[in-house]
A and B are shown apart, each in its own frame.
Chain A
């Protein structure tokens, strides 16, 4: 397959804190797996462009526009820095409208929940996070939740496409249309309309509270979940908690014009930065997600299998997974398994 042999460029944004070390761990593993990826490292720090608007550095934007695929480590959240968070800037620059989190139980990393296998797809541009708030009178604040037809249709279409491309059986729309009649009602209507074009995928609707209730009792009943911004935020973190937290959860952001940025969603962990103690699993699984998105399923499966085998074996685990090993030892073990698999 000519496509597979050709090297694909991916923009790599190592990030802050433990970002650089987990990024190099991922690069090492990819090299061992001989994945056809060429990394282009870029830094994103907010700079003030012409007209006074904050933007990401032009070389980062140029790289992303060309490669279309990005892998990102954790970024520092600035407090009182005068500019918005980098994640928000990235989202706006590339119109990253879908946040996708596959939550699959990791055999070997025990949580009270086993057999979790679901995907949350969250609309990431509007909804409750529109940022539009006003003080009406002193002591009365109004926050506006915005739901538009276009954004709802776009996310619904993505959800069904994802379900089809990844052999998932059903898509569930999560909403609160009994209370927010017009806004969630519009979201639901668009989901229903899109479902008509995907008769091979089962479509169901469920109230947010019912989903929460059932999720903590029996998460195996869920497959793909699609929802507006706030519910997505809460549910995706809830599902991450089911499989073991943000340190092992992958995440992908899909944008317009074919751009996709995959990232780890944990923090920068400044207290262990540079000490070779970090756990690269989240970033590695996000990179696997990226490989699958690019159609390189074989490489993705190989790397994921090696990673899960290492965790299941429990011999070389980083501290947050319950072990005592260094990041480099964990990485080396995965590399060894990849070589054995070949």
Chain B
């Protein structure tokens, strides 16, 4: 058995993971990106993104694909998937899953992630200087397996009144995500990777995940590897979050940990998220909230979606535009009177966006207005 694992780890080292390349720009140097407005606050936030992009003359054209969450057929989401295959990159709002519909109607967001094999969900949680939080100096990168685990959508009612839901863990996907985590840690100069699991209870499933992480860790001797059980992790996060560096975990624990971390740095309105596969990349807010209760009231925080669009620009190698918008956002964050309700202020979404655009203009960059 040890010979097998040694050979397979050799294979891993020699197998070159294809680097995710963004699609090249088209004629005229312009990129086309799929835009899925989604539900709730998605449409208004993405409109603001388009507004800022137009204002800053960003060479990106959006192909808008609507996905209606109220219908049972999967035509809409399949169109969206086709569009993303065509363009290679997407920016999306969250598509609501009405769980009043039959269980056979699966989550559209999940379908998108699994069809496009966006196996790594990456979230960078950093304390922002202008935002008041209970904990300071947080800088955690969370890498979450995005396609399997508890989100396999395999459920059946074996006997009336007894439902079984399958959680699938595979060696391939666990190796893949662990490798992604270590590669990213090395690339960003991070020192430690922590695997989050519950292998004391789910001995085979999470046990396999942990074993894969350990195998990959052996190939990165410069990075420390340790593991922590998920319930202890949440306890540590609310008392001493500064101890964490990079965290890698299966799907559901990723959901819990990323939401806890987003809450610790100031809330769902501040943190962007990215979903990467070997070929495609989709950007959205990290905590994927629909925000139905605050939709269309001009109070949603545009920061998370705008920062996600900057991550997208970085991915398309439009670094200057990305930095310019990001700096404008961070400068705006420092003005407390502009904070939106979710971070304790009374500012409106449009005020924040206007200020961001003014910052961009003040730097002397080319804008669509004078």
**Interface membership of A55, Cβ < 8 A:** no
Say whether B259 contacts A210, CB under 8 Å: yes
Assess whether B165 is in contact with A144, with CB atoms less than 8 Å apart.
yes
* Contacting residue for A145 out of B106, B110, B167, B260, CB 8 A: B167
| B246-267 Cβ-contact flags toward A at 8 Å (1 or 0) | 0000001101101110111001
A143-B202 CB under 8 A given contacts A180-B150, A216-B264, A237-B231: yes
A1 within 8 A of partner (CB): no
By beta carbon, the residue of chain A nearest B151 is A179
CB <8 Å contact, B171 and A216: no
- Number of residue pairs spanning A and B whose beta carbons lie under 8 angstroms apart: 170
Query: In the complex, which residue of chain A has the Cβ closest to the Cβ of B207?
Result: A141
Q: Which of B110, B202, B237, B262 contacts A179 (CB 8 A)?
A: B110
Total residues of chain A contacting the partner, CB 8 A: 54
Could you tell me if A182 and B163 are in contact, using CB atoms closer than 8 angstroms? yes
Which residue in chain A gives the minimum CB-CB distance to B236? A241
B24 within 8 A of A: no
Known interface pairs A135-B204, A245-B235; A213-B169 also in contact (CB < 8 Å) = no
- Majority secondary structure, B binding face: mixed
Asked whether any CB of chain A lies closer than 8 Å to the CB of B187, the reply is: no
Q: Which residues of B contact A142 (CB under 8 A)?
A: 166-168, 205
Residues 339-369 of B at the A interface (beta carbon under 8 Å): none
Asked whether any CB of chain A lies closer than 8 Å to the CB of B16, the reply is no
Once the chains are docked, how many angstroms separate the CA of A188 from the CA of B100?
Answer: 11
Complex A-B, nearest 3 residue pairs according to Cβ-Cβ distance, in ascending order: A139-B171, A241-B235, A216-B263
B interface with A by C-beta (< 8 Å): 97, 99, 103-107, 110, 134-135, 150-151, 153, 155-157, 161-172, 198, 201-205, 208, 230-232, 234-239, 252-253, 255-256, 258-260, 262-264, 267-268, 287-289
Q: Could you show 29 A-B contacts with beta carbons less than 8 Å apart?
A: A112-B135, A128-B167, A128-B201, A133-B203, A133-B205, A135-B204, A139-B208, A140-B169, A141-B208, A143-B169, A145-B166, A149-B161, A150-B161, A178-B97, A183-B155, A188-B99, A212-B260, A213-B262, A216-B260, A216-B263, A216-B264, A230-B198, A230-B252, A233-B198, A238-B234, A238-B235, A240-B235, A241-B234, A245-B235
Interface residues of A (CB under 8 A from B): 111-113, 128-129, 131, 133-135, 138-150, 176-183, 185-186, 188, 208-210, 212-217, 230, 233-238, 240-242, 245-246
